[in-house]
Chains A and B, each alone.
Chain A
Amino acid sequence: MHDVMELFHLYKDDVYRLAVSYTHSVHDAEDVCQTVFLKLMEQSGITPGKEKAWLMQVTANQCRSLLRSVWRKRTEPLDEEAEEILSEQPVLQGIWESIRKLKPKYRIVVYLFYYEGYTVKEIADILHISGTAVTTRLSRARQVLEAELREEVY
């Protein structure tokens, strides 16, 4: 099994990407990442080779808890500009802004499916939802994105 610091360097960008995609806040994402990697240090029973799946699952749970928290609901998250996250490429920033308009539950399946390349079943396992729910969310996300990005992507 990899040392925990090796795992951090190996997967920090994946965890961060997932957290940014879910919360759409770099500040929240950083907090989530720290919590997740500190939790990783407490784990001794992760099956070798399954570390990334564990990290994805815990990150998703942590983001979900954050978005549902009373504190978060009572405070208005700062809007972060796309430029803070992406380089100065207007087309990519446009896509990011379109993704950003999706509800968090749609954003996360878009990220896991299109970037991470997980299957519907794997996404269902990570998010603790049914395969049907994953398919439905992907379909609805596609509809919204299609309308948003018709001129840029299609």
Chain B
Amino acid sequence: MKERFQEVYEQIRMPEECSSRIEQAMQCKRADRKKYVTGYRWKHGFAAALAAAMILVAADATVYAYTGSGFISRVMSWANNAIFTEEVDEEGNLVGTAALDTSDMTAPAVYQNGHLWFTANGENIDITSQVSEVRAYIYDYTDGEGITHYLIVGGAPETFGYAEFLYDATKDPGWIGGYFTSGKVGETINPDWLENAKDELGIPWP
């Protein structure tokens, strides 16, 4: 029986077309490491079990970060057009984010003529002197659903990175999600400016 099964399985090989497509996707991803996003997932009632998933994305890619089965309960739009979708499982528990769509992602800041301009949410502020490798500019606003968005921009102005974290005061834990995008090739996912900002705000994720 074992031999026959092995004969059957041995015939199953990845089609050349599929192999080429995946190889191409991997090469594209390798070539575009300058931008990456960290999506933070959460599980209702298990603050200590928070998990972080680093997702490398091409600049124009759509990334879906599946975290399990469930029903979509809410779609949250972020300041830079990224979208997180929450799920609840069949027992009604919030289980995490279903999708992180970065296809329309835009940075909340722009570097022009030696100046770094914070441009998100209708604001246009020169933050050049307020950011460095260890210091971030933090902007917050509360949306129509009562969720506070913290936009964090840091690093050297010409290679700045940014992050956004959401806080819902009606939930426990209140921090409900976040992402980080780097502007530097090969940068750690925990640059000092981001770590310092997270400490200042009390953001719990590593």
Contacts and interface: CB of A to CB of B under 8 A. Distances in A.
Interface of A: 4-5, 8, 12-13, 15-17, 20-21, 26, 30, 33-34, 37-38, 41-42, 65, 68-70, 85-87, 91-92, 95-96, 99, 110-111, 114-115, 145, 149, 153-154
A70 B26 contact: no
Given A20-B12, A96-B8, A4 B26 contact: yes
B4 A95 contact: yes
A34 B9 contact: no
Interface of B: 1-2, 4-15, 18-19, 21-23, 25-27, 29-30, 54-56, 66, 68-72
B30 A111 contact: no
A110 B5 contact: yes
Given A16-B13, A33-B14, A69-B66, A41 B8 contact: no
User: Interface residues of A: mostly helix, strand, loop or mixed?
Assistant: helix
Nearest to A114: B5
Contacts of B26: 4-5, 8, 37-38, 41
Contacts of B8: 86, 92, 95-96, 99
A110 B2 CA distance: 10
Contacts of B15: 26, 30
A57 B125 CA distance: 48
